[in-house]
Chain A
Amino acid sequence: MNDLSQASLNAFQLLFSGNDDLWEVISLSFGVSFSAILIATPFALVIAFILAFFQFPFRRTLISLFNTFMSVPAVIIGLTLYLILSRSGPLGDLRLLFTSKAMVIGQIMLSFPLLVAMAHASFQSADRRAWETAITLGAAPSRAFFTLMYEVRFGLIAAIVAGFGRVVAEIGCSMMVGGNILHSTRNIPTAIALETSKGEFAQGIALGMVLLVLSLSLNAGVSIFQGKGELQA
C-alpha cells in the first residue's frame, strides 16, 4: 500500500487550502491545552518547591504519589472525571460534562503530577544555599522563591514543555469528558481518531502533522530561550 505518501500529499493540500473545520479543531486543541498548563503550572511549582525545601510528615509519600500519578492512563482520569461531572455524579449540577471546560479540567489533572514531579527534581538540583543566602540577605520568602526559580529555570521550562506535550497529544480524557462534539469539543487527537475510524486517513495525517509542526516550533522557541543547552561554566 502506498497510502502513506498519498495521504501525506492530501494532508498538505488540506492544510493550505484554508479548511475552516481543520483550523477550528487546531485552535480548540491549543486553546484547551494552553489554558490547562497555564492554570496548573503556578500551583504545581509552589507544591514542588515546598516538597523540595521543607520537611514535614508524609513528604516522601507525597512525592511517591505524584510520581505514581504520572503513569495513570489518560482514559482513567477521563473516566473518573466523567463519573464526577455526569448528571448523576456529585458535580453534575455544574453541567460541565461535554464542554471544553471539562477538557481543561481533565488536562490539568493529567499534567499536574508530571509538572510537580519534574519541577521537584529541578528544585532538588538547586543549591540550597541560594535559598538560604537570599533569606539571610533579607529577601522576602516570595522574592527568594523567584530567585530560586530563576536558578533552575531550564529544568522548570523542560517540565512545562513536557506537561504541555502530554496534554496536547492525549486522547482518552478528551474523548471521555469532551465527547468529540463538532464545533464544540473536537480537538486534534479526537479528530484524528474520528477521521481514522472513518477511513479518512489524509485528514488524520494532516492533523498529526499540525501537531508535530506546532510542537516543533514550540520546542524551537524554548531551545532559543535556553541558549546552547550546555552547562554554563
Chain B
Amino acid sequence: MNFSAHASDPLRLATTTSTENSGLLAELLPAFTKKTGIKVDVIAVGTGKALQLARHGDTDIVMVHARQAEDIFIAEGFGVNRRDVMENDFIIVGPPDDPANIQSDKKTLIALKRIADKKASFISRGDHSGTYKKERAIWKHAEISPLGNWYKEAGQGMGKVLLMASELGAYTLTDRGTWLAYKDRLSLKVLNEGGVLLKNPYGIIAVNPALHKDIQYLKAMSLIAWITSPQGQQLIDAFQKNGQRLFYPTAIQDVIADE
C-alpha cells in the first residue's frame, strides 16, 4: 500500500459535472498527460462540493464556475493562483407556449420579472451548484425574492431538473451543454439567451499547498499553465458536441485571432 506522495501519483482535479459530462475533459486531459506525463484523476461533483473537497485538501486543484464562491475560497486562503479558463452561457428555457410571454423581450431581468409577476412555474436546482448560484444571483439582480408555490426547488442535477420542467410545463435556467444533451426528449424551448447576465465563466484554482501536506502543487500549476496555454485554449475553442461549440476560451485575449 502506498502511504506517501510519489512522483507517479495522479493529480486530483475536482470539477463540475458540466465539464465532465460534456466530454470536454476527455478531450483536454489526454493531451495534457501526453505533454507532461502527469495523469489526472477527475472527481466530477457540484461546484459547492468541489470547493469543499478542496478545503479539506482532498484534491490538488479545482475547476469550477461560480465566481463569487471562488473569490471567497481564495480570500479564505484555501486556493491560490486562480486563472480564467473559458466561458459558456446559460439560457432560460420554458414551455413552447410561453405563458409568461418572456420571449418578446431580450432582457433577462424582464423575463424573470414576467415569470414572477405571472407566478408561472419555475424550477430551481435548489442545490449549491454553480448553476443554482448563478440563478440566485440573477434573481437578486432583478430585486425579486422568488417565493411561493410557483417557485420549486428540486435539489437535483440539471438533467433531472430539465425533465421535471418539461413534465410540469415550467421555466428553468440551464447551462447550454446539458440543454443540448437533453433537448430532443424535452417539450421545452429556449426563450431567453445571449444576455451579459447569462455568461458563465470557468476558473481554475490550485489548492493552497501551505494548508495540507501532500498537495501536489507543482503538478497543479502545470495543469493551470497548460490549460491556459495556446495549445490548451485552442483545444477548448475547437471542442464541439453534436456540431455545437460549447465553450469559449478566455485565458488569453484573442488567442485564436492571433493564430
Contacts and interface: CB of A to CB of B under 8 A. Distances in A.
Interface of A: 1, 3, 86-89, 92-95, 97-98, 101, 179-182, 184, 194, 196-199
A87 B21 contact: no
Contact of B56 (A86, A95, A101): A86
B235 interface: no
B71 interface: no
B12 A98 contact: yes
Q: Which of A95, A182, A198 has the most CB of B within 10 A?
A: A198
B157 A197 contact: yes
Contacts, number: 60
A89 to B, nearest CB: 8
B2 A95 contact: yes
B157 A181 contact: no
B140 interface: no
B17 A181 contact: no
Size bracket of the B interface: 20 to 34
A190 to B, nearest CB: 10
A226 B145 CA distance: 62
B58 interface: yes
Contact of B57 (A88, A194, A196): A88
Given A1-B185, A180-B43, A197 B21 contact: yes
B42 A181 contact: yes
Contacts of A88: 56-58, 212
Given A181-B42, A181-B43, A197-B158, A86 B57 contact: yes
A166 B5 CA distance: 34
B253 interface: no
Contacts of A87: 56-58, 212-214
Nearest to B17: A197
A196 B159 contact: yes
Contacts of B213: 87
14 contacts: A87-B56, A88-B58, A89-B56, A93-B3, A94-B3, A95-B2, A95-B4, A95-B5, A180-B44, A194-B20, A197-B21, A197-B157, A198-B159, A199-B185
B167 to A, nearest CB: 10
Nearest to B14: A179
Nearest to B5: A95
B128 interface: no
A88 B2 CA distance: 18
Nearest to A88: B56
A87 B41 CA distance: 16
Contacts of B4: 95
A38 B139 CA distance: 53
A172 to B, nearest CB: 13
A194 to B, nearest CB: 8
A88 B43 CA distance: 18
